[in-house]
Structure 1
């Protein structure tokens, strides 16, 4: 595949160095440029540019003519981390809330607009990363041409089955507030957690028939490579700030919205996989109702697909996703 990659940093309005990987075609890049935003726990390359067959959404988009910027939000991957993350975790405020991360998106968007000469760019986000780019589109509608929201959470309903009042995420002394005493400012994550979550969603016994084992290996390596301290611990773990987790709790448990979707003025494509427990039909129905200024809204309920369909085997939803996104962006 004739794809070029370049790693660099940009600085946000509040002075944070944010890591970006540019993935672009060697030749014509006539399609709308795109910013790709990761989710709650893992940095951008782990989701969008794994060095294995069918592991790079960014490369597929670049092959179709898009210049893509993969962002590592503050506190993640190769971007600046708050100084507190060099100390042991503490039961203090969760670091790097979603509203702060919109500044990182803004720095990437402005750089991409200047680099391509385009007035507006498309945004794609995964999980709370989708919430983040939708919030950004509400704050800066003049800069956004399209939204692709993959496994999004909005906060339209407070009926999440696992992230709810009374769950481990809830403060037992003050129900309705994030359990800061337990989870604190940031987390050490084991690399087996995502694989376990992935296994639970695959509805067949032979997991290798659903996903390539090489994809799991590539994901593990990317997670460890995304934190320079990961291999100094036994077993290896990687750090992530808990700000997006607190926001996920607020939306899932209490039904509070971080922004209102009526402020979005671009076409929206929502991807809601059947086996994904994060993005829910009830939540997305409220979101769609609030999107009354968007010129078009597509809500794809991806049947027989997992939260990880971008990394599953192509016939397990990935090929259909690529085709639908290509049509949407045209």
Structure 2
């Protein structure tokens, strides 16, 4: 059974609901947040979106922190989209595997990409049934791009368009997210210390203005709040599963694709920023060239941005590129 929980403290022109829906695994539930304009009464495939987060931070952290008075979900909802955002198991409001309550070294890396693809499948099927629509648009970031790409490759009929922000693909350089060494089931992320690595991707002269004042602190607090157990530790941390990092070692970092882009047969948008160290430009070019069966494809490159461009000063360029792509008619 799903549970609908009204959310409070958001813009009065938007309806916000949080859903708890079943996964394909007994005892594992998935969190979905929905935002839409309060005036919206009808729903269509073309105006419906499901968002997928990356390897470390939840959907609420990446897509729904109101920086500068507006989150990415707010932006899409005010553009007339019915927007859902998924937390895969182990993230945000979704069930964390029981192994995350034990020491990390007691389990193998949790929530591999294959598991997240299954969670995405459960979420897509829920939204399609809930809204009575045949398909929807997918918007995903980083590792979420791997999840959404793999899902779309096997389920083109359920996807209208695919928009990917810095999607993980074949890497010719080490992945910054992987610090090396043995991987346990999960890792503890000191979110407040992430600012230095984030800014290090930008030229030194650009770092002071990359993240507007107060934005990092607000985002970090929201990220830490997503994991009450980790947040109770001192120093404060957030637990993140290690399955995505294991898959970087086994696939992307080893020159092996997890899925075949030729199996994607829907329109695709790639959004990338010039200072992205996690997904270098050559990686993006390789993926773009590999999408040979998409009806059409587009690559938008944003200047003065890093892998976290959705939370930086130039984020509106990414927001607008995605909303325009999803709103336009097929050529």
Give the structure-2-normalised TM-score: 0.88
- Residue aligned with 1:124, SS: strand
Q: What are the within-5 Å matches in structure 2 for residues 304-319 of structure 1?
A: 304-313=304-313, 316=314, 318-319=315-316
**Quick check: 1:5–1:24 contact (8 Å CA) kept in 2?**
yes
Q: What are the within-5 Å matches in structure 2 for residues 178-327 of structure 1?
A: 179=181, 182-205=182-205, 207-313=207-313, 316=314, 318-327=315-324
Query: After superposition, what is the alpha-carbon deviation per residue over 1:10-64, rounded to whole angstroms, capped at 9, x for unaligned?
Result: 1112232001111111113665211111111111100000133255101100000
Match of 2:3 in 1: none
Match of 2:39 in 1: 27
Matched, 1:107 2:104: no
Q: Residues 38 and 55 of structure 1: is their aligned pair in 2 closer, same or farther, counting only changes over 3 Å?
A: farther
1:198 positional shift? 1.8
Q: Residues 205 and 282 of structure 1: is their aligned pair in 2 closer, same or farther, counting only changes over 3 Å?
A: closer
**Quick check: 2:270–2:288 contact (8 Å CA) kept in 1?**
no
Whole-Å Cα distance in 2 between the matches of residues 36 and 6 of structure 1? Answer: 15
- Residue aligned with 2:54, SS: coil
**Quick check: 2:56–2:240 contact (8 Å CA) kept in 1?**
yes
Match of 1:6 in 2: 17
Q: Residues 196 and 108 of structure 1: is their aligned pair in 2 closer, same or farther, counting only changes over 3 Å?
A: same
Unaligned 5+ runs, structure 1: 170-178
**Quick check: 1:48–1:55 contact (8 Å CA) kept in 2?**
no
**Quick check: 1:186–1:240 contact (8 Å CA) kept in 2?**
yes
1:141 to 123, 135, 156: 156
Whole-Å Cα distance in 2 between the matches of residues 293 and 154 of structure 1? Answer: 17
Query: After superposition, what is the alpha-carbon deviation per residue over 1:272-312, rounded to whole angstroms, capped at 9, x for unaligned?
Result: 21000122233233322331111011122222222222111
1:70 positional shift? 1.2
Deviation larger for 281-290 or 85-94: 281-290
**Quick check: 1:91–1:183 contact (8 Å CA) kept in 2?**
no
Q: What are the within-5 Å matches in structure 2 for residues 43-54 of structure 1?
A: 43-53=58-68
2:325 to 286, 306, 328: 328
Match of 2:173 in 1: 160
1:235 positional shift? 0.6
Whole-Å Cα distance in 2 between the matches of residues 209 and 273 of structure 1? Answer: 16
Query: After superposition, what is the alpha-carbon deviation per residue over 1:98-139, rounded to whole angstroms, capped at 9, x for unaligned?
Result: 110112111221122122222111111111111111111012
Whole-Å Cα distance in 1 between the matches of residues 229 and 107 of structure 2? Answer: 22
CA RMSD of aligned residues (A): 2.0
Give the structure-1-normalised TM-score: 0.88
Unaligned 5+ runs, structure 2: 1-10
Deviation larger for 250-259 or 18-27: 250-259
Whole-Å Cα distance in 2 between the matches of residues 113 and 168 of structure 1? Answer: 39
Match of 1:174 in 2: none
- Residue aligned with 1:36, SS: strand
Count of aligned pairs: 312
Whole-Å Cα distance in 2 between the matches of residues 163 and 278 of structure 1? Answer: 6
**Quick check: 1:163–1:253 contact (8 Å CA) kept in 2?**
no
Query: After superposition, what is the alpha-carbon deviation per residue over 1:222-269, rounded to whole angstroms, capped at 9, x for unaligned?
Result: 111111212321111111110011112334421111110111111000
1:206 positional shift? 6.6
- Residue aligned with 1:183, SS: coil
**Quick check: 2:300–2:321 contact (8 Å CA) kept in 1?**
no
Q: Residues 284 and 209 of structure 1: is their aligned pair in 2 closer, same or farther, counting only changes over 3 Å?
A: closer
